[in-house]
């Protein structure tokens, strides 16, 4: 009877753990609801916690994340007007303080009784933090789209790249004087026409951990053509047509925003192009995936969305999906906003595929578990956008929701998914090399504290079955159209307790003489990293070779739960032993009493 009760207790404890692991829910103790629209992510106070840049009315506000996932409003605000703006975070003067690049559409027609210039396009302003305030630097040009933030010359200072309203290529280098200098000559003979609303990327697609610039251009037939430009010297980039093949052309097909992630976990970043049936990408037939190792476009099917529509915005680049390893199994998943009766965030899990065409090994499948339980305020309104975010920086991705509340006002809240069972992770953040020491916050004693655009990380290890596990990721490959990439690389390690054998880090640095080389200046290796670690890496300045790194361990909630179960089981076992001991003593006493009352015939 007692053993049965012990079994029931253990079963209940295990079920309780599983319930906590697989149930994503709203915050119960910490309020995370914010008013406004999300504009960008960034560690604005350099305390290793990702903060939010939010537009509320005509103000751009900064909300700083605390240790427990709560947000406090910063005193710094930027007046951007009532029009919706798009933001990117960078360091445009190399002072190790985050700056904000703001893009917005130019008004056309009659505005306030006056006629505007009538030129269609975007106006862009860099708000550079100088002397405890943001100083605006407005570009005089009119742009065809938002400007992308990259590091073109590898000096740790953020640069901008894009196209003018007439299609002319535009490139500017940031500098210590807060001025911007032309860099179009770094991309000689660039004469391609940009593809409308494409999210140009700064990401490594060759496996050498040195980011390439990926442009979305338009061919003679009006179809999307990707151009990959490689760095070949300190001042020059060159187009390499062999890096990415031409997209297959099908009539009646449209494209969603490009995705850059290592979807098949082969150690090489893949390029995913959603294949849409209409301009708004409400129906996605599949994702065309460029496999660099096989040098071909593969067909990744998307299942579970039959009878539903996806929600995106054509004016915002048709960002249908956002990528992140939600399940922490080593294969990046997708999050999307799905419209049935209402608009709900859904996870499309990256799962194996045995019968896929074009030799594709993976597919995306709509996941019904874990359940994404929305906060009560969100359920009364309508969700407008969903993205991944790491609350509390615990290595497990949560879900950020932007929604219209019951009063039709924009707000932001989160669905917390704090623990995903016995899965482990590796989190790596590479800072820019603008500063090595004494320039971060009080909490952070090394490095600039600003994530370096284009820095790439690759890892490899052996799983519990002895199979090799790999993955590659670059920091913030896209910065326009609210792509909302986190300023770090997060890898799921699955359920393997093994150490990570190697972590390879590549910086977005100018190559030394002789071309792009892997030596102590651009490339760095770490060995035998314990799972559930957060690694901070600071590259050397200039031509130096001294890298700095720090490792922070993140305790898993499962460990605490397992200890509680173990202590409870031990306590019950002690109680069982005590009860059995008491019963045995009572039986011995009863036997002695019977012995004392027994008639001794030998005594007669």
pLDDT confidence bin for 6, thresholds 50/70/90: very low
pLDDT confidence bin for 514, thresholds 50/70/90: very low
For the chain, the average pLDDT equals 86
**Top-confidence residue, 334 or 552:** 334
Question: In this predicted structure, what is the pLDDT of residue 205?
Answer: 94
Rounded alpha-carbon distances, angstroms, from residue 147 to 22, 141, 373:
39, 11, 36
Distance CA 354, CA 255 (A): 26
Mean pLDDT of 384-398: 93
- pLDDT of residue 278 exceeding 80, the answer is yes
pTM of the model: 0.86
Question: In this predicted structure, what is the pLDDT of residue 313?
Answer: 80
Mean pLDDT of 573-582: 92
Question: What are the pLDDT digits (tens) for 439-498?
Answer: 766 677 788 889 999 999 999 998 877 889 999 999 999 999 999 999 999 999 988 788
**Top-confidence residue, 24 or 100:** 100
Tell the residue number behind the tokens 């130019």, with chain if given: 106
**Top-confidence residue, 248 or 356:** 248
- pLDDT of residue 190 exceeding 50, the answer is yes
Mean pLDDT of 104-122: 65
Mean pLDDT of 329-356: 91
Question: What are the pLDDT digits (tens) for 21-58?
Answer: 445 766 555 567 899 999 999 999 999 999 999 999 99
Mean pLDDT of 305-323: 86
* HEC letters along 380-421: CCEEEEEEEECHHHCCCCEEEEEEECCCCCEEEEEEECCCCC
- SS3 of 26, please? strand
| Number of alpha carbons in the 13 Å side-chain half-sphere of residue 257 | 28
52: number of Cβ within 10 Å: 22
Mean pLDDT of 116-143: 88
- pLDDT of residue 545 exceeding 90, the answer is no
Closest C-alpha to 526, from 573, 574, 489, 486: 489
Question: What are the pLDDT digits (tens) for 153-178?
Answer: 988 999 999 999 999 999 999 999 99
Rounded alpha-carbon distances, angstroms, from residue 224 to 246, 253, 322, 378:
9, 11, 20, 37
Distance of CA 94 to the CA centre of its chain: 24
Q: Using CB atoms within 10 A of its CB, is residue 406 exposed (0-12), middle (13-18) or buried (19+)?
A: exposed
DSSP classification of residue 437: B
Residues composing the chain: 604
Closest C-alpha to 410, from 101, 100, 54: 54
Question: What are the pLDDT digits (tens) for 213-254?
Answer: 999 999 988 899 999 999 987 789 999 999 999 998 876 678
pLDDT confidence bin for 334, thresholds 50/70/90: very high
- pLDDT of residue 3 exceeding 60, the answer is no
State the Cα torsion 524-208-263-37 to the nearest 10°: 70
Q: Which residues contact 542 (CB under 8 A, 6 or more apart)?
A: 433
Query: Among 113-117, 463-467, 580-584, which is the least confidently predicted range?
Result: 113-117
- pLDDT of residue 108 exceeding 60, the answer is yes
Q: Which residues contact 137 (CB under 8 A, 6 or more apart)?
A: 92, 125, 126, 127, 128, 178, 179, 180
- pLDDT of residue 511 exceeding 60, the answer is no
Question: What are the pLDDT digits (tens) for 322-331?
Answer: 999 999 999 9
Partners of 352 in beta bridges: 362
- Angle between helix 2-22 and 557-596 (nearest 10): 170
Mean pLDDT of 91-106: 94
Closest C-alpha to 139, from 123, 118, 120, 152: 123
**Top-confidence residue, 87 or 9:** 87
Question: In this predicted structure, what is the pLDDT of residue 519?
Answer: 56
- pLDDT of residue 375 exceeding 80, the answer is yes
pLDDT confidence bin for 113, thresholds 50/70/90: very low
Question: In this predicted structure, what is the pLDDT of residue 31?
Answer: 64
Is-cis flag, bond preceding 370, omega within 30? yes
């Amino acid at each position: 009877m007692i053993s049965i009760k012990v079994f029931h207790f253990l079963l209940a404890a295990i079920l309780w753990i599983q319930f906590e692991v697989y149930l994503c829910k709203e915050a119960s103790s910490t309020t995370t609801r914010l008013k406004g629209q999300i504009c960008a992510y960034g560690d604005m106070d350099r305390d290793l916690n990702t903060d939010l840049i939010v537009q509320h009315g005509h103000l751009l506000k900064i909300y700083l994340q605390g240790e427990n996932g709560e947000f406090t409003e910063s005193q710094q605000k930027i007046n951007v007007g009532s029009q919706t703006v798009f933001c990117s975070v960078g360091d445009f003067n190399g002072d190790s303080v985050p700056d904000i690049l703001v893009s917005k559409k130019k008004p056309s027609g009659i505005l306030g009784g006056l006629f505007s210039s009538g030129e269609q396009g975007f106006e862009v302003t860099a708000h550079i933090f100088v002397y405890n305030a943001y100083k605006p630097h407005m570009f005089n040009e009119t742009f065809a789209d938002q400007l992308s933030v990259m590091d073109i010359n590898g000096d740790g200072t953020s640069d901008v790249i894009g196209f003018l309203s007439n299609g002319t290529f535009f490139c500017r280098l940031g500098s210590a004087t807060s001025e911007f200098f032309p860099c179009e000559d770094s991309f000689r003979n660039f004469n391609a026409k940009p593809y409308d609303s494409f999210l140009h990327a700064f990401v490594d697609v060759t496996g050498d951990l040195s980011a390439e610039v990926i442009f979305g251009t338009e061919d003679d037939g009006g179809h999307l053509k990707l151009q990959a430009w490689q760095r070949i010297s300190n001042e020059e980039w060159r187009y390499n047509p062999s890096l990415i093949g031409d997209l297959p052309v099908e009539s009646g097909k449209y494209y969603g925003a490009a995705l850059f992630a290592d979807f098949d976990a082969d150690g090489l970043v893949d390029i995913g192009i959603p294949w849409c049936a209409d301009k708004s990408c409400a129906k996605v037939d599949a994702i065309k995936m460029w496999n660099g190792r096989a040098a071909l476009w593969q067909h990744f099917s998307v299942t579970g969305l039959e009878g539903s529509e996806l929600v995106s915005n054509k004016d915002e680049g048709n960002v249908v999906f956002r990528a992140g390893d939600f399940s922490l199994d080593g294969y990046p998943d997708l999050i999307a906003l799905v419209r049935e009766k209402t608009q709900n965030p859904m996870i499309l899990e990256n799962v194996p595929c045995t019968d896929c065409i074009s030799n594709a090994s993976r597919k995306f499948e709509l996941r019904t578990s874990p359940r994404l339980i929305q906060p009560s305020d969100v359920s009364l309104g309508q969700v407008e956008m969903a993205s991944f975010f790491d609350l509390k920086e615990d290595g497990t991705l949560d879900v950020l929701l932007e929604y219209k509340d019951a009063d039709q006002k924009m707000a932001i809240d989160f669905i917390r998914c704090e623990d995903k069972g016995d899965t482990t992770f590796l989190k790596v953040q590479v800072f820019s090399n603008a500063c090595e020491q004494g320039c971060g916050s009080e909490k952070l004693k090394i490095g600039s504290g600003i994530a370096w655009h284009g820095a790439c990380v690759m890892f490899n290890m052996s799983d519990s079955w002895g199979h090799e596990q790999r993955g590659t990721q670059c920091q913030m490959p896209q910065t326009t159209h609210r792509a909302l990439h986190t300023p770090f690389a997060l890898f799921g390690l699955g359920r393997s307790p093994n150490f990570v054998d190697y972590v390879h880090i590549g910086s977005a640095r100018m190559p030394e003489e002789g071309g792009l080389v892997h030596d102590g200046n651009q490339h760095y290796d770490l060995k035998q990293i314990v799972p559930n670690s957060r690694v901070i890496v600071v590259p050397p300045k200039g031509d130096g070779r001294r890298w700095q790194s720090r490792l922070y361990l993140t305790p898993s909630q499962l460990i605490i739960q397992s200890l509680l179960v173990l202590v409870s089981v031990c306590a019950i076992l002690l109680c069982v032993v005590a009860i059995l001991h008491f019963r045995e003593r009572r039986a011995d006493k009863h036997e002695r009493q019977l012995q004392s009352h027994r008639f001794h015939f030998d005594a007669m």
